Amino acid sequence: MPKPNTTGRLLSYFKPHKRRLALAILLMGAQALIPGTLVLLIEQVLDQALIAKDGQALAWLPLALVGLYAFGGVLTVARGMLTRSIAWEVITTLRAELFWHLLHLDARWHQKHPTGATLARLTGDVTTIQYGVSGIVTAIQQPLTLVVLLAAAAWMNTTLTLVSIVVLPLVAWPIIHFGRKLRESSRDSLDNMAALTATAAESLEGMAVVSTCGGEKDRSRRFDAINQTQHRLQMEAFLARLLPGPVVELIAAVGVGLVLWVGGQQVFTGEIQAGELIAFMVALGLLNTPLKGISKINNLLQQASAGADNVFAILDTAPAIPDLGTQPAPTQPSTLRFEGVCFDYGENPVLKRIDFEVQAGNVVAIVGSSGAGKSTIAKLISRLIDPVSGSITLNDIHLQNYDLASLRGSLAVVSQEAFLFDESIGTNIGFGTNASHKAIQDAAKTANAHGFIMALKDGYDTQIDAMGMALSGGERQRICIARALLRNAPILILDEATSALDTHSEALVQQALERLMKDRTVIAIAHRLSTIRHADRILVLEDGRIVEQGTHTDLVTAAGPYAKLIGEGHSPSPNQRPCEPSTH
- φ/ψ of 154, rounded to 5, equals -65, -35
3-state secondary structure (DSSP) of residue 381? helix
CB 31 within 8 A of CB 75: yes
The pTM of this model reads 0.71
pLDDT for 581 equals 37
Neighbours of 250 (CB within 10 A): 12
Measured CA to CA, the distance from residue 366 to residue 378 in angstroms comes to 10
Measured CA to CA, the distance from residue 39 to residue 51 in angstroms comes to 17
Q: What is the pLDDT of residues 295-340, one digit of tens each?
A: 777 777 777 788 888 888 889 988 888 888 899 998 888 899 999 9
State the DSSP string of 356-380. Answer: EEE-TT-EEEEEESTTSSHHHHHHH
DSSP one-letter code for 461? G
3-state secondary structure (DSSP) of residue 352? strand
Domains of the chain: 4-315 (1.20.1560.10), 345-418+472-567 (3.40.50.300)
pLDDT for 60 equals 67
Number of H helices, E strands in the chain: 23, 10
Measured CA to CA, the distance from residue 583 to residue 475 in angstroms comes to 9
Q: What is the pLDDT along the chain (584 residues), one digit of tens a residue?
A: 445 577 788 888 888 888 888 888 888 878 777 777 776 676 666 666 555 565 666 666 667 777 877 887 888 888 888 888 888 888 888 889 999 898 888 877 887 888 888 888 888 888 777 766 666 666 667 777 777 777 777 777 788 777 777 777 777 777 777 777 877 887 888 788 888 888 887 777 777 677 777 778 888 888 888 889 888 888 888 788 777 777 777 777 777 777 778 777 777 877 777 766 777 777 676 776 777 677 777 777 777 788 888 888 889 988 888 888 899 998 888 899 999 999 987 777 889 999 999 999 899 999 888 778 888 898 899 998 899 999 999 999 999 999 998 998 899 888 877 888 888 999 999 988 888 999 999 999 888 889 999 998 899 999 887 656 678 888 888 898 888 888 888 999 988 776 656 666 667 777 777 888 888 899 988 766 666 777 889 999 988 899 999 888 888 888 788 877 776 554 433 333 333 333 33
CB 140 within 8 A of CB 28: yes
Measured CA to CA, the distance from residue 234 to residue 240 in angstroms comes to 10
State the DSSP string of 217-249. Answer: HHHHHHHHHHHHHHHHHHHHHHHHHHTHHHHHH
Closest CA to 116 of 193, 11, 214: 193
HSE at residue 274, side-chain half, CA atoms within 13 A, is 5
